[in-house]
Amino acid sequence: MIEWLGSFLQWFFIIYVLCMNLGYLTLNISSLLSILKYMQTRNFESFVGISADFMPPISILVPAFNEENTIETTVRSLLQLDYPQFEVLVINDGSKDRTLQTLIAAFDFQPFPEAYRVRVPIKQPIKGIYCSAEHVNLRIVDKENGGKADSLNAGINACRYPLFCCVDADSILQRESLKRVVKPFMEDPRTVASGGTVRIANGCTVKGGFLVNVSLPSNFLALVQIVEYLRAFLFGRLGWSPFNALLIISGTFGVFHKETVISAGAYRTDTIGEDMELVVRLHRHLRLTGKPYRITFVPDPVCFTEAPEDIKVLRNQRIRWQQGLSESLSVNIALLFNRRAGVVGWFAFPFMVIFEWMGPIIEFGGYLFMIVGLIFDMISLQGFMAFFILSVSLSMLISVTALMLEEMSFHVYKGVKNILLLFLVTIVENLGYRQLNSYWRLIGLYRWARGKEGKWGDMNRSGSWGQNQTHINKKTPGQFSS
Amino acid sequence: MFNIKDPAIILVMYLDVVLLILTLLLLALVVIFRLRLDNQERGRERFMQVWQPVMDQSMYGLAQLVPRHSAIRIKPADTMNFLLLWNRLQEVLRGEVRENLNAIAHSAKIDAAVLKMLHKGNLSKRLLAINTVGHLRELSAWETLVDIVQENQNPILALTAARALARMDGEKATAVFVPLLVLHKEWPASHVVGILKELNLESFSRCLADAILRAVETDVPRLVRYLRFASGETALAVVHDVLHKYNNAEVLSACLYVIGEFGDRHNLGDVRNFAKHHSWVVRLQVAHVLGKIGTRDDIKILLELLTDREWWVRYRAANALSSLPFVTIAEIEQFRLVQSDTYASDALTQILVEKRLLV
């Protein structure tokens, strides 16, 4: 019986790992084709300007909680974005520090009697609205603390333009970021949401809120996250985009069609992963009502964000992410195998459920099975090693293909030395980090199953880049960081 | 017991070997990509050191010819670098300077190279070649470019070719482009606009007007939006006809926008008729246009729109009132005080503060 069970589990894990990686490799091919197509016109379009006449105006929503260190630099850099018409709305979500006072002093904000209309219900009341006397396109919505989703909903109510862009208060954008992410809206009027690639800012140099030099960080955790982000964005997301089955647009930087978001119910305030949940719900809402739409991903690195370099912060982040993912998928389960759900319901959603949502259980179970099998002599050392090498080599193959996509497109990290260092990271991450990550994700899953409400935790941001010129080398992310 | 003879273990071991070899091959490929890129970058830097000063001089008419020095001839490997630099400059410069750049290109015999590139090569090379022949006004490429636009295998390629045609001969290009514009709904307006600005204004206005009057209702709003790049007189005549022909909110709103761009008091009759239209999008446009060309008689309509059930119409009406040159802040204050409608009063309060902040 034990032998039979062992044999079953062994084949189950082999087939699971193979299916997962086959899925990733398929996404990889899809990404490869997308990148090749995209890069053929990108260079040309960078100088043969797209006319500003039909660029839709955008409201940039910046939810802020205790951001006094970075908020001024963030807003100044947003005001310098290269885009014809936009407004910036900072939503001060009951900050306990001097976020509001810092903004008022820096931009000469005056109380503003806005005819505020409630199109999306909000949990916490608005205390006041301010408009800058220096920049007429800059306002603050000051409200009681209600969380990031509640802040974004308050921002949606106050924003004036047909598209809105949510930006984390610690995001570092490129001057061209908005133009790049809004391009799908101009090329296809069915577009309702668009996201871009988020990269790790650790190790980079920032001046005036903009990135001036990209290099690799010295911290191991930050290095591993660079490889993770490359994998996640360059094929995890880009791969699904051509099939209109992208399930995640990072809350760090994404553009949405306001009326569509409102008709789908805007951000849910009872979930910790409000960014992913909104995108999955948009799919559900639009697929099931039969409305034509596109949710698109732009491979350009449009936004840089600081990654945690502290193991405790990273642990909390990963637990939250898994909890958020579980919530997003479980509340939109109606999409799964729905006859109207197309590629999203029949491929992307099940893929997410089996390999991302349930992944930690199976992955952790696999490790446990191997160890128990080895201890109780159910599996030989050679067998154990063969399985372990399979897991490592598949992970390395996926990571190296991500590195290849990066080299074929944006080659942000210069020099052969950097590539070899990142390759080394793809090996080393399998010796402890990956297992630890699975464990954290398992905790996230457990917390979701227990119905434990996710908390962002009260963390202080370093604000190191909020200076004139700074080399980013450490991170303690703020409450609203994704 | 699973040992080395177990078929599953054997399968896994084979997979391990295959995957590791594949990974190492891919890594080698990545490194080769990087080395090639570094090499290209060095080549580009060398090219720029030589050619940037030549281009700079040519812009001021100091270097109309490529110097005969062998180091300064364009090597085949540098053709793309030359085209990128040359086209970048052409896109940002205006007037005589462009002719000087053309002289440099002719002198470097780049025209012959790009004519070959029009037919073969990858998309990025073809795009550059098409753009170049457009700037050079290389009429021998006319038929090829017309074919590319008509075939429309790729919208970006087709629109780049259309722009090149417009640069060569704005009048002839209008006859080719406008009928296709009606057909190709998928062409992004943001790309189309760049072409419209290069066409001959009179012939484009005439062609577009004809196309709109003959178009099916679903195509009309899209085409009317392009009227803002036509001559004002023709545009106003067309929207006058269209406004009396359709009751579609999208069409009406697009027409009213055009009146806002070109119209004057003579067009007010067309606008006022729609102040009570059932669609708020149309009423919003009415408020917007009245704010631009309205007279004292229109204050009454705007005050009514201030009590509209749609927030945006109220906001635009308040904006329109404040933008009428003959309405003072004191008058707006007075309108606010006598408002019995809270929403109207709120909209005016907001506008008053906005005005003060702007001052």
Model confidence pLDDT, tens digit, residues A268-284: 999 989 999 999 999 99
Answer yes or no: pTM beyond 0.90.
no
B73 — pLDDT class (breaks 50, 70, 90)? low
A379 in contact with chain B, both atoms CB, cutoff 8 A: yes
Is A400–B23 a contact, with Cβ atoms under 8 angstroms apart?
Answer: yes
Q: Sign of dihedral through CA atoms A214, A220, A221, A226? A: positive
One-letter identity of residue B120: K
Q: Is B311 left (phi over 0), alpha (psi -120 to 50) or beta?
A: alpha
* Integer Rg of chain B from CA: 30
With an 8 Å Cβ cutoff, are A131 and B357 in contact? yes
**Confidence class of residue A258 from pLDDT cuts 50, 70 and 90?**
very high
Mean pLDDT for the stretch of residues B59-79:
66
Cβ–Cβ below 8 Å for A386 and B350: no
Handedness of CA A64, A65, A68, A69 (dihedral sign): negative
| pLDDT higher at B350 or A470 | B350
- Nearest chain A residue to B160 by CA distance is A48
Q: How confident is the model at residue B359 (pLDDT cuts 50, 70, 90)?
A: low
Query: Is it the case that residue A447 has pLDDT exceeding 60?
Result: yes
ipTM over 0.90: no
- At residue A476, does pLDDT exceed 50? no
How many Å lie between the alpha carbon of B27 and the closest alpha carbon of chain A? 6
Confidence class of residue B63 from pLDDT cuts 50, 70 and 90? low
B30 and A407: CB-CB below 8 Å? Answer: yes
Q: Is the pLDDT of residue A454 over 70?
A: no
- Whether residue A411 and residue B34 make contact (CB cut-off 8 A), yes or no, is yes
**B327: pLDDT strictly greater than 70:** yes
Write the single-letter amino acid at A374: L
Tell if the CB–CB gap between A115 and B191 is shorter than 8 Å.
no
* Residues A270, A265: Cα–Cα separation, whole Å: 13
Q: How far apart are CA B327 and CA A452, in angstroms?
A: 59
Q: Give the total residue count for chain B.
A: 359
CB-based contacts of A346: which residues, under 8 Å, 6+ apart? A337
Give me the phi and psi of B358, to 5 degrees please.
-65, -35
The pLDDT tens digits of the residues spanning B296-307 come to 999 999 999 999
Check if A415 contacts B (Cβ < 8 Å).
Answer: yes
Q: Given an 8 Å threshold on Cβ–Cβ distance, is B37 in contact with A11?
A: no
Judged by a CB distance cut-off of 8 A, whether residue B343 touches chain A is yes
A422 CB contacts (<8 Å, ≥6 apart)? Answer: A216, A223, A226, A227, A403, A413
- What is the arithmetic mean of pLDDT over B75-83? 86
Instruction: Give the three-state DSSP class for A454.
Output: coil
- Is A387 a residue whose pLDDT tops 70? yes
Q: CB–CB of B1 and A377 under 8 A? A: yes
Alpha-carbon gap, residue A82 to A298, rounded angstroms? 17
Tell me whether B153 touches chain A (CB under 8 Å).
Answer: no
Report helix, strand or coil for A141: strand
Q: Looking at CA atoms only, how far is residue A342 from chain B in angstroms?
A: 23
- Chain B residues with CB-CB distance to A54 below 8 A: 188-190, 193
B117: Cα within 13 Å, side-chain hemisphere: 21
CB B287 within 8 A of CB B316: yes
Cβ-count burial A107-145 (b if 16+ within 10 Å, e if not): bebeebbbbeeeebebbbebeebbbbeebebbbbbbbeb
Nearest to A380 among B2, B156, B311 (CB): B2
Distance from CA of A2 to the nearest CA of B (A): 10
**Dihedral sign, CA of A237, A238, A239, A240?**
positive
* pLDDT of res. A151: 97
B322, pLDDT greater than 50: yes
Q: A279 with A172: CB under 8 angstroms?
A: no
B 155-174 residues inside an 8 A Cβ radius of A = 156, 160
Region A352-361: mean pLDDT is 93
Instruction: Give mean pLDDT, residues B340-351.
Output: 88
Sequence-distant (6+) residues with CB within 8 A of B21 are none
More confident residue, A311 or B153: A311
Percentage of chain A lying above the pLDDT 70 cut: 93
CA–CA separation, A172 and A199 (whole Å): 10
**Are residues B108 and B75 in contact, defined by beta-carbon separation less than 8 angstroms?**
no
Q: What is the mean pLDDT of residues B17-37?
A: 93
Choose among A48, A136, A403: nearest Cβ to B91.
A48
Q: Hey, which residues 42-101 in chain B have their CB within 8 Å of chain A? A: 84, 87-88, 91-92
Binned at pLDDT 50, 70 and 90, residue A470 comes out as low
**A140 at interface of B, judged by CB pairs closer than 8 A:** no
**Residue ranges of B 232-271 with Cβ closer than 8 A to chain A:** none
Q: In angstroms, what CA-CA distances link B325 with A176, B56, B344? A: 37, 47, 21
Tokens 């409200």, residue located: A143
CA distance A204 to A345: 39
Rg from Cα positions in chain A: 22
Give pLDDT, residue A481. Answer: 46
**Tell me: the pLDDT tens digits for B125-153?**
999 999 999 999 999 999 999 999 999 88
For residue A446, give how far its alpha carbon lies from the nearest alpha carbon of chain B (Å): 31
More confident residue, B165 or A475: B165
* Alpha-carbon gap, residue B281 to A53, rounded angstroms: 20
Task: Please identify among residues 277-316 of chain B the ones whose CB lies closer than 8 Å to any CB of chain A.
Answer: 311, 314-315
Neighboring chain A residues of B189 at a CB cutoff of 8 Å? 53-54, 186
Quick check: A386 contacting B, CB < 8 Å?
A: yes
The predicted structure's pLDDT at residue A40? 85
Portion of chain B with pLDDT greater than 70, in percent: 94
User: How far is B69 from chain A, CA to nearest CA, in Å?
Assistant: 30
Q: Is A457 on the interface with B (CB under 8 A)?
A: no
CA distance B193 to B106: 29
| Choice among A177-191, A197-211, A442-456, B308-322 with the minimum mean pLDDT | A442-456
Q: Angle CA(A459)–CA(A462)–CA(A467) in degrees, nearest 5? A: 150
Residue A59's DSSP bridge partners are A87, A164
| A474 — pLDDT class (breaks 50, 70, 90) | very low
How far is residue B240 from each of residues A130, B286, B353, measured CA to CA in Å?
Answer: 42, 15, 37
Tell me the pLDDT of chain B averaged across its residues: 89
Pick the residue from chain B with its C-alpha nearest to A424. B27
For the stretch A282-285, contacts whose Cβ atoms lie closer than 8 Å and that sit 24 or more positions apart, written own/partner, are A282/A192, A282/A193, A283/A245, A283/A247, A283/A332, A283/A335, A283/A341, A283/A344, A284/A332, A284/A334, A284/A335, A284/A341
Maximum mean pLDDT: which of A67-81, A93-107, A204-218: A93-107
The answer to whether A355 and A361 are in contact (CB under 8 A) is no
Looking at per-residue pLDDT, the higher value among A313 and B119 belongs to: A313
CA A409 – CA A43 distance, rounded (Å): 11
Instruction: Give the gap in angstroms from C-alpha A466 to the nearest C-alpha of chain B.
Output: 28
Residue B188, Ramachandran bin (φ over 0: left; ψ between -120 and 50: alpha; else beta): beta
Q: How far is A276 from chain B (nearest CA, A)?
A: 29
A251-270 exposure pattern, b = at least 16 Cβ within 10 A, e = fewer: bbbbbbbbebbeebebbbbe
- The region of weakest confidence among A140-154, A233-247, A277-291, A371-385 is A371-385
Once rounded to an integer, what is the mean pLDDT over residues A103-110?
A: 94
Chain B, 111-140: which have a CB under 8 Å from a chain A CB? 122-124, 127-128, 131
Residue B1: its chain A contacts at CB < 8 A? 3, 377-380
Q: For residues B105 and B93, what is the distance between their CA atoms, to the nearest angstrom?
A: 15
Query: From the candidates B3, B15, B30, B225, which should be mutated to test the interface with A, based on the most A CB atoms within 10 A?
Result: B30
Decide: B11 and A13 in contact? Cβ < 8 Å: no
**Residues B133, B115: contact at Cβ < 8 Å?**
yes
Q: Which pLDDT belongs to residue B45? A: 93
Average model confidence (pLDDT) across chain A: 88
Looking at the partner chain, which of A6, A373, A386 has a beta carbon nearest the beta carbon of B12?
A: A386
